[in-house]
Chains A and B, each alone.
Chain A
Amino acid sequence: MIKKITITLNGKTVSRDMPTHRLLLDLLRDEIGMTGTKEGCGTGDCGACTVFLNGKPVNSCLVLSGELDGADIITIEGLKVGPELHPVQRAFVEDGGAQCGYCTPGMLMMSKALLDENPNPTEEQIRYALSGNLCRCTGYAKIVQAVQDAAAMLRNKTVP
């Protein structure tokens, strides 16, 4: 079944006729061509496909297009607002939080979700929040460091 869906994607209105059985991940990557959101497993086990759906971080590989009409979606491409990197992005750059970078978009989205909810997380809270995002390169150490530094940046408002 094809359904016309209209979504807000990174602040812009987008309409598409989508087969209901395709996933949000496919809509973003294949239909619209925004490949920043990654497929790592397709089964909700790795978090590489994390986007914000109606303000909440979800695995886009498990969301059916058929229910998306009216949805508000933010992807990695929408993390920067304006020309500057978001503090989490900047912290990942400075601390070396990205090695191969494939898990990075999902990690960043989840990190932002955490900091939006909890501006001063402990290390355990950071690890807990990111435990649904697998990384095979970094051992998570610099990712956790980056989230801590981003939290400090945001708390101290040391970014424009």
Chain B
Amino acid sequence: MKRTEPFDMYQPATLEEASRLVKENGPGGRFLAGGTDLVIAMKEKGLLPKYIVDLKRVPGLSGIREISDGGVTLGALTTMYEIEKLPLIKNKYPFLAQSAAEVGSIQIRNRATVGGNMANATPSADTAPALIALGATAKIASAGAEREMLLEEFFKGPGQTVMSADEILTEITIPKTSPRLVGEYIKFSPREMMDLAYVGVAVAYNLGAADKKVTGLRIVLGAVAPTPIRAKRAEAALEGHILTEELADKAGQLAAEEAKPISDVRSSADYRRAMVHAMTKRALLNAAVGPAKSWYDRRERRY
């Protein structure tokens, strides 16, 4: 761990200016949102940016709004704490609010942004699996240009996204969901708070009211591959069927096979794989029961 070293810093007032600054200054720059990843990278991972472009004065990057068809758009600078607390998110997508609540501490969540969480592209990012499970899209802009894509396709590898150096993630949109939607995000780690996810599992599906049939299922795994990944074989095993413990277990098994975890200082790959199995099964069954009523319930069996 070392002290940060000098860099130039800019605080542009428009998106165009932000993008232009990068084009002009060339390589070695970084965008700054909440700084909770960037500053740690400078102190612990040897990052030495030449210059930093602070996005926090650019208008239009904050705010959460409902869109006409019933979906929700989150500005990239929306903080984790806002996602955790805002009734709009808590009521429509409680497991997304839950995933934001899992990030660090309140102090971190008051600074960390969803845009930063995505752009930093850590495989264990906590909000990515839930957003992908909701079918979210990401809007990317640079001076004079804009494009949109599925968030699922935004990540390329650890620390790598599809964005070029002068592009900025501006907002994330969650499309309209069914009133039958249920979901769960389980962040698996030893402590109740403050850990990085050893394994992250988000599930979202429409649960048939009478027949308990599962449709529109997405299972997204975090921290067990170079990017968040969909466990598509696991989804296929359960899609269109009635949710049972057996099938949930089967889906978990398949998800474990699809995962590509590594061994590191936190955990062995084999243990991560075993937890993908256990937590995928648990997330699927917990989701059908409903949201956790106490903090300790959120990772334990509720079925």
Chain A residues with a Cβ under 8 A of chain B: 1, 3, 19-23, 42-45, 47, 50, 53, 56-59, 61-64, 66-67, 110, 113, 124, 128-129, 131-133
Contact of A129 among B4, B106, B294 (CB under 8 A): B106
Tier of interface size on chain B: 20 to 34
**A64/B32 contact (C-beta < 8 A), A21-B6, A58-B107, A110-B106 known:** yes
Shortest distance from the beta carbon of A2 to any chain B beta carbon, whole Å: 9
Interchain CB contact under 8 A, A66 and B107: no
Q: Known contacts A20-B52, A23-B39, A66-B9; is A45 also within 8 Å of B194 by CB?
A: yes
Question: Does B104 sit within 8 A of A, measured CB to CB?
Answer: yes
Q: Is residue B153 contacting chain A, with contact meaning CB distance below 8 A?
A: no
How would you classify the secondary structure of chain A's contact residues: helix, strand, loop or mixed? mixed
- Also in contact, A20 and B1, with CB within 8 A (given A131-B193, A131-B194): no
- For this complex, 9 residue pairs linking A to B, each with C-beta atoms less than 8 Å apart, are A3-B9, A43-B44, A44-B104, A59-B107, A62-B36, A63-B111, A64-B32, A132-B106, A132-B108
Question: In the complex the two chains form, is B105's CB within 8 Å of A131's CB?
Answer: yes
B35 contacts A63, CB within 8 Å? yes
Give Cα A158–Cα B4 distance, bound, in whole angstroms: 46
- A21-B4, A64-B32, A64-B35 given as contacts; is B107 within 8 A of A47 (CB)? yes
Please indicate the chain B residues that have their CB under 8 angstroms from the CB of A58 in the complex: 107, 110-111
In the complex with contacts A128-B295, A131-B192, A132-B107, A43-B9 CB distance below 8 A: no
Taking CB atoms, residues of chain A closer than 8 Å to B86 are none
The smallest C-beta distance from B17 to any residue of chain A, in angstroms, reads 16
Contacts A1-B7, A64-B52 aside, 14 further interface pairs with beta carbons under 8 A come to A1-B9, A23-B39, A44-B40, A58-B110, A59-B105, A62-B111, A64-B4, A64-B32, A67-B32, A110-B106, A124-B295, A132-B107, A132-B193, A133-B105
CA distance A124 to B192 in the complex (A): 12
Shortest Cβ-Cβ A-B pairs, 8 listed = A132-B105, A66-B9, A131-B193, A20-B9, A56-B110, A21-B4, A62-B39, A1-B8
Return A74 CB to nearest CB of chain B, in Å: 14
Question: If A44-B107, A56-B110, A58-B110 touch, does A20 touch B39 (CB 8 Å cutoff)?
Answer: no
